[in-house]
Structure 1
Amino acid sequence: MNRLLNYFKGYYGPSILAPLFKLIEALLELAVPMIVASIIDQAIPSGQQGQVLAGIARMFAFAFLGLVFADSAQYLSAKAAVGFTKQMNQDLFAKIVNLDAREIQNQSPSSLVNRMSADSLQVQTGLNIFFRLFLRSPFIVFGAFVMALTISPRVTWVFLGMIVALFFAVGFVVHLSNPRFTLARERLDRLVLLARQQVKGVRVIRAFGRQADEEAEFVEANQSLYQTNLQANNVSVLSNPLTYAIVNLSLILILWQGGGWVDSGLLKQGELVALVNYLLSILVELVKLAMVVSTMIRTYTSASRIAQVLALEEEEAAFEFLPVEQEDNLIEAQNLSFAFDEKAEPVLSHLNFALKSGSFLGVIGSTGSGKSVLMSLLMKNYDPTGGRLRLNSHRLKVESRKEWRQGLSLVPQKASLFKGTVRSNLLLANPQASDEELWQALEVAQADSFIREKAGLETPVATFGRNFSGGQRQRLTLARALLKPAEIYIFDDSTSALDYLTESEFQKALKTHYRHKTIVMVSQRTGSVKGADQILVLEEGQQVGYGRHEMLLETSEVYREIHESQEVKEVGK
């Protein structure tokens, strides 16, 4: 939590002045009942109209000054709260983007979204209220008690007993409501997770007729959140009736005792009115304070959730380099193994291969053989849990994962496009690319024809590229990756939605325009990798073949079976 205090940097002035102005406003407010008392006890009995008007004028002057200080405090508190939240959100987003892959796995995406949105907004609201009320309300309560003490020490016990009782009541409410608000945040995470899953998988849900089941699960989670929020708020609202009951009992005592003191001359009428005003001021401020405490409980919960993310470990550079005498290889794997958890079975075991500069490495295997995990290791999303993955320090001058990834261009399995235009999506890879370079990349990716038929580079792209077919989305993501000036291009099963003819044309264009680049292509088709310099064959995370196409047909039973099954399918077509 302490690290969150750093975000006040640059807003120390507003953060100090806002409460200070509210304290000045409180002082002016505390002075008003004394002015009223002087008008009632001195100005009116004297019959001097000028003295009455002067008292009224002082009241208006104090009210005007209070308004000026209050408005200034409102502006400054909003400025500090919004500025704090802006800097916190920037760091929070940067932290999430740079989180270690293992940490991302442990976090729910819906929870991260909630922390960036709902929790962040709660922190901003809480800070704004804190600057305006949290110091002002206790000051008014304490100040009203002191002023009442100066008027009549006899009523001190009533005020003191009331204040102690009120603080115990507020503390009791806080103790009961705090865990309930924390639980409500956790259940909100689950609700957002379900909504996200159901919106994302709506086609699958409809295809299997699972709408009723998914709706029932969402209703159950929503009802659980509703009950938790209801319980939390039912406890929280206890503060108002408890506060009103205690203050009104105190008011009855003061009027009862004060009336007798006025009759006996121990207390003046104006002083009794001032005491009642101070009592009502305490009532109003303690109602506000109860509201502030309730808000601050939620704010603390949200701030804690944000601080938890900010405290997570970011990716660290962990590179191992090849000896100088082995400069021919860009990357070399020796007995490479990986498991997602120390107690889990390895996903990859004892892989051995080398990637030379300007070469073409094919990776093939059935579904679940570990191909994408291997690509994650090459991207340094994870570090090996066994063996070695060494880089060429002479050709690849890297000191961080960010620098390493700048030399790579990845086309993932799932084509991801962003709302905008074809041009804006392509420029993500290379903002300085010219129109000629954009069209060349589209041409290599076999996407130029259907883009020209639309609106060219200004063709709109819907969210996730929903206005394009699966094959078109893949070709656009291929074009985007090819635009990036990289040392190594990784295609992670990124031609699966292309027909054989289109894929063949893409392979030819790739060899023509990118023949000097290093290519890693993952596929389930032998036709996609048979032209590779080396092919790595995986089966259940094990290396069961490594060599050229012709050699593997003779030496690798798994590769041969995959090839023959696809040859049969192709002939059948």
Structure 2
Amino acid sequence: MSETTIEQELRREAKERHGRPTRPSLSLLASLVAPYRGLAVATLVAMLFDLSGMLLIPTQLSAMINTAVTTQDASEFLVHGGLMLAAALAGSAGYITSTWLASRLCANVGRDLRMRVYRASLSFSATDFNRFGTGSMITRTLSDANVVQQTLLMTILMIFPVPIMCAISVGLAFATDFVMGWVLLAVTLVTLAISLVAIRGTAPVFTRLQGFIDAMNARLREAITGVRVVRAFGRERLTRERLDETFDAYARNAIRVNYVFATTDLMTFFIMNGVESLIMWLGADRVGAHAMQIGSISALIEYAMLILFFMMMAQFAMLSVPRALACLDRAVEALEVSPQIRDAEECKEPAMVGEEVARFDHASLRYADADEDTLRDLDFSIRRGQVCAIIGNTGSGKSTVAKMLLRFCDATEGSLRFGGVDVREISQETLRSHIAYVPQKAWLFSGTIAENLRHGRADATDEELWHALDVAQASFVRELPDGLDSRVAQGGTNFSGGQRQRLAIARALVRQADLYVFDDSFSALDFKTDAALRHALASELAGAATLIIAQRVSTIHDANRIVVLKDGRIVGLGTHDALMQTCETYRAIAQSQARKEDIRG
């Protein structure tokens, strides 16, 4: 079967990654483990007790057969039996303790990795988010971190003990019989070679598997989110085929990995049975030649079985190591992103005392991946006690103005001052604490209405929440059985578009900010509610500055100053009446929304 487009893209990315050093990934892992050095040392000590108990049991069994059985001395039985029991108890205690400590260590490492990736994503610019994608960031934060956590646990419990177990077992075998020592050493080296070959073959496949998880997350998220559009246009079959393509590609690569697992396990089991037969055959010959005692055969078989058992478990764990390294590489990619928006070394406090709250001083903006400016030479101010409005055709850059105020992006030319200070000299936390923002898409979080409103201000009282709801014309909340404690689904999907917008506006009013930014926040409201809301806001926000980004002329009709944008440039600036006389772009927008005789001026 030919490769799909997704498989070809992932194979191309793997080739680009080939040859890159894994040192950054290992450095990241080391930095995650470093705070828990004490826990790691305690785990290793407990593990030594576990291994010591395992190795003492066959040693004492051999001694019991060689002495107690041949001499028929009951005291020898009791001595060696008691030592075997003590070894078993010590080994069990060591195993339980080491497993608990290792699980705790790995859980802490996994948590810290998730937090690092998530915190890094909080500093991403819009370009960075577009580069990675939401589905990929979710995979890197959750799935990849889980893979690293589980692989680290398996490495500690299944791989770390192998060198110790092999070294001591082979040493004991040599001490028991020189020939048998060479047999165990040869078996150990052969099994190790098989494991390395298997790992080398599965490493690139594991890397691609994580890419397939990204692709599945992205496509499944898109299909579920847009299910109404899919059904409305009858595209269920096409969507299903696209998802099937991704699922089939993942399944094919997963089958390859499972085939390697099965083959490796089969070879290991074959070696185990062959070694057991070989030891018994050679042991019988050596015992007959009086070169070794009969009890030593049981000890050698136990040593061989322990080596092969641990090697087999290590194979299982080692096959997951390439996948974990791929996940760490992906985490490093996210962590090494240099934020385009960062705080200055010495931040200043804005002076919120004058009338001018914010000012665009010949500010222009060009995104890093763009060929031309999105906004050009913006020069206007937003004043306290006034309403400044921005209107323009689709794609004129209206919402980008709000992003600049919130420092989601910075001016590439000119400057934007807030409280008389360049926003690049104000910490992002301080700047945004003075701004209340209502986004274009009213997003609500799962929880209650009260919890959503308190995103604006955590210490707001219930009275303040009700007041904000009344101003936002969200009277429907009073009609709900649970009022402020009514449940909100993720995204607010259990409310209509207009209800979500009013709740988002109420959340902004709770903030009690110096500047209120409404980014096309009235589009889902009917004209009557829109008018009532604007009337209520006029008195509520009299002491603050207000910026309204709108598409409807009726929404901004009474604004003190209207900025008209076209292709990122200001083509009109003034009141509604003045712009109707002087600005052709504004007049065309107004005339397209209402009959000529209903337009003032």
- Give the TM-score of the pair, scaled to structure 2: 0.90
- 2:383 is aligned to 356
1:155 aligns to 2:191 (yes or no)? no
1:317 aligns to 2:317 (yes or no)? no
Q: 2: distance between equivalents of 1:397 and 1:211?
A: 48
1:199 aligns to 2:199 (yes or no)? no
1:333 aligns to 2:360 (yes or no)? yes
1:396, CA displacement in angstroms? 8.4
Gapped runs of 5+ residues in structure 2?
1-24
1:88 partner amino acid? L
Deviations 1:504-534 (A, max 9, x none): 1111111111111100000011111121121
1:25 to 50, 72, 81: 50
1:419 aligns to 2:485 (yes or no)? no
Query: Superposed, which structure 2 residues align to 1:44-123 within 5 Å?
Result: 44-123=69-148
2:418 partner amino acid? L
| Residues 570 and 74 (structure 1), Cα distance of their counterparts in 2 relative to 1, 3 Å cut | farther
Contact 1:451 1:459 in 2 (8 A): no
Number of matched pairs? 571
1:348, CA displacement in angstroms? 1.9
Larger displacement relative to structure 2 (363-372 or 342-351): 342-351
Contact 2:287 2:294 in 1 (8 A): yes
SS in structure 1 of the partner of residue 360 of structure 2:
strand
Contact 2:350 2:421 in 1 (8 A): no
Which segments of structure 1 move beyond 4 Å, counting only runs of 4 or more?
318-324, 394-398, 569-572
| Residues 176 and 570 (structure 1), Cα distance of their counterparts in 2 relative to 1, 3 Å cut | farther
Deviations 1:272-308 (A, max 9, x none): 2211111111111110110121233322222332233
1:305 partner amino acid? R
| Residues 408 and 40 (structure 1), Cα distance of their counterparts in 2 relative to 1, 3 Å cut | same
| Residues 206 and 569 (structure 1), Cα distance of their counterparts in 2 relative to 1, 3 Å cut | farther
1:10, CA displacement in angstroms? 4.7
1:346 aligns to 2:357 (yes or no)? no
SS in structure 2 of the partner of residue 245 of structure 1:
helix
- Give the TM-score of the pair, scaled to structure 1: 0.94
| Residues 320 and 275 (structure 1), Cα distance of their counterparts in 2 relative to 1, 3 Å cut | closer
1:281 to 306, 310, 313: 306
1:327, CA displacement in angstroms? 6.3
1:508 aligns to 2:535 (yes or no)? yes
1:249, CA displacement in angstroms? 3.8
SS in structure 1 of the partner of residue 388 of structure 2:
strand
Deviations 1:75-94 (A, max 9, x none): 11111111222233233322
Q: 1: distance between equivalents of 2:350 and 2:130?
A: 34
Q: 2: distance between equivalents of 1:487 and 1:4?
A: 44
| Residues 327 and 514 (structure 1), Cα distance of their counterparts in 2 relative to 1, 3 Å cut | closer
SS in structure 2 of the partner of residue 117 of structure 1:
helix
1:220 to 245, 249, 252: 245
SS in structure 2 of the partner of residue 345 of structure 1:
coil
1:316 partner amino acid? R
Q: 2: distance between equivalents of 1:181 and 1:397?
A: 43
2:342 partner amino acid? E
| Residues 56 and 558 (structure 1), Cα distance of their counterparts in 2 relative to 1, 3 Å cut | same
Larger displacement relative to structure 2 (29-38 or 350-359): 350-359
Deviations 1:445-488 (A, max 9, x none): 11124533543222222222222111111111111111102110
Q: 1: distance between equivalents of 2:46 and 2:597?
A: 80
Contact 1:439 1:448 in 2 (8 A): no
- 1:262 is aligned to 287
1:369 aligns to 2:396 (yes or no)? yes
| Residues 321 and 80 (structure 1), Cα distance of their counterparts in 2 relative to 1, 3 Å cut | closer
Q: 1: distance between equivalents of 2:265 and 2:424?
A: 65
Contact 1:137 1:288 in 2 (8 A): no
Query: Superposed, which structure 2 residues align to 1:129-140 within 5 Å?
Result: 129-140=154-165
Q: 2: distance between equivalents of 1:454 and 1:364?
A: 39
Q: 2: distance between equivalents of 1:327 and 1:237?
A: 74
Larger displacement relative to structure 2 (506-515 or 526-535): 526-535
Larger displacement relative to structure 2 (8-17 or 24-33): 8-17
Q: 2: distance between equivalents of 1:454 and 1:561?
A: 46
Q: 1: distance between equivalents of 2:350 and 2:504?
A: 36
Q: 2: distance between equivalents of 1:546 and 1:413?
A: 23
2:458 to 428, 431, 434: 431
1:518 partner amino acid? A
Q: 1: distance between equivalents of 2:338 and 2:282?
A: 64
Q: 2: distance between equivalents of 1:271 and 1:395?
A: 82
SS in structure 2 of the partner of residue 238 of structure 1:
helix
Larger displacement relative to structure 2 (294-303 or 407-416): 294-303
Q: 2: distance between equivalents of 1:361 and 1:450?
A: 30
Contact 1:187 1:225 in 2 (8 A): yes
- 1:528 is aligned to 555
1:156 partner amino acid? G
1:323, CA displacement in angstroms? 13
Deviations 1:179-201 (A, max 9, x none): 11010001111101111111111
Q: 2: distance between equivalents of 1:447 and 1:125?
A: 48
Larger displacement relative to structure 2 (277-286 or 227-236): 227-236
- 2:325 is aligned to 300
1:208 to 215, 233, 241: 233
Q: 2: distance between equivalents of 1:322 and 1:35?
A: 75
1:178 partner amino acid? A
1:475 to 502, 509, 530: 502
SS in structure 1 of the partner of residue 319 of structure 2:
helix
Contact 2:158 2:313 in 1 (8 A): yes
Q: 1: distance between equivalents of 2:46 and 2:350?
A: 67
Contact 1:365 1:371 in 2 (8 A): yes
Query: Superposed, which structure 2 residues align to 1:561-572 within 5 Å?
Result: 561-568=588-595
2:581 to 543, 548, 554: 554
Contact 2:416 2:423 in 1 (8 A): no
1:5 aligns to 2:30 (yes or no)? yes
Gapped runs of 5+ residues in structure 1?
none
Contact 1:165 1:246 in 2 (8 A): no
Contact 1:43 1:51 in 2 (8 A): yes
Deviations 1:235-264 (A, max 9, x none): 244322232334444444333322221111
Deviations 1:119-176 (A, max 9, x none): 1222221222222222212211111100000011122332222222222111111111
| Residues 439 and 52 (structure 1), Cα distance of their counterparts in 2 relative to 1, 3 Å cut | same
Q: 1: distance between equivalents of 2:307 and 2:574?
A: 84
Q: 2: distance between equivalents of 1:210 and 1:347?
A: 34
